[in-house]
Amino acid sequence: TAEALSPCSPRAQCQPTMGANTSSANVDTNASSSVVGGSAWRGREPLSIFTVLILTLLVLLTVATFLWNLLVLATILRVKAFHRVPHNLVASTAVSDVLVAALVMPLSLVKELSAGRRWRLGRELCLVWVCFDVLCCTASIWNVTAIALDRYWSITRQLQYTLLARRRISNVMIALTWLLSAAISLAPLLGWGETYSPEQERCQLSQDPSYTIVSTGGAFYLPLCVVLFVYWKIYKASKFHMGGRSRNAVVPLPEAAQVRLGKGREPALLPQALRSCFS
């Protein structure tokens, strides 16, 4: 009994040790729970006012893009007067923009809102997002280029560019636009570069140098050069036509010529080329 009650006995020595271990375990548990709670709290921090404003602006932009282009399509389909060139080119542009607003912009918004701009939606959605992004944006740019070419040919080749030829050429341009866009967008799916990295949770366009050169050249730089050249030619042709109209303008005769033609008559009007003969 004395041995059991002694503070130096084995049983008495075990009691403080067990209490110390228990208290240390409690401290570790509280510390770990506080760390987990702190990280969870940091993950649930409210968004700043600037982030909320940017998010609201992006959502409104997406909705406005979708509704506006959908209204353009509905107008072209319902009004029979718009069932001709160049409204089919405008309709093709509206289709590409509607697809951008419906399939590309929402997924881009989800990516921008994720922590570190990581892609957490899987490989399949990544491939769909990248494919439709390249397809629709490239088609939209080339549709604008086709509209510029149609305007140029309608101004410079008025006799040859009849309504029938214009309709055929516009349909060919629409088909080539979507075929070229599909070829550029589907190339990464066929093995030309990689778009998804599961380790880094990253989804982006193929970073292969050869694909980057071909895609940017075919989707941006080439149509940009065509549009700039075509609108410069349109400006030159319009300036030439305006100059010809000013030279052939009808102007009143000078007073001396009016006296020769007879007093009391109404002022005669002759082209500018004949005015010099009477002055």
pLDDT tens, residue by residue, 235-253: 888 887 676 555 555 555 5
Which residues, other chains included, contact 141 with Cβ-Cβ below 8 Å and sequence gap of 6+? 219, 220, 223
216, 138 contact by CB (below 8 A):
no
> Reduced to 3 states, what is the DSSP secondary structure of residue 197?
strand
Q: pLDDT at residue 201 above 70? A: yes
Averaged pLDDT of the chain: 76
145 against 120, higher pLDDT: 145
pLDDT at residue number 28? 47
Domains of the chain: 49-242 (1.20.1070.10)
C-beta separation of 118 from 201 below 8 A: yes
Closest CA to 184 of 234, 209, 219: 219
pTM of the model: 0.68
Residue 174: is it exposed, middle or buried by C-beta count within 10 angstroms (0-12/13-18/19+)?
buried
* Interval 213-226 mean pLDDT: 92
Tell me if 149 sits within 8 A of 173, measured CB to CB: yes
Is the pLDDT reported for residue 155 higher than 60?
Answer: yes
SS3 251: strand
Structure tokens belonging to residue 23: 């208290």
How confident is the model at residue 254, as a pLDDT?
57
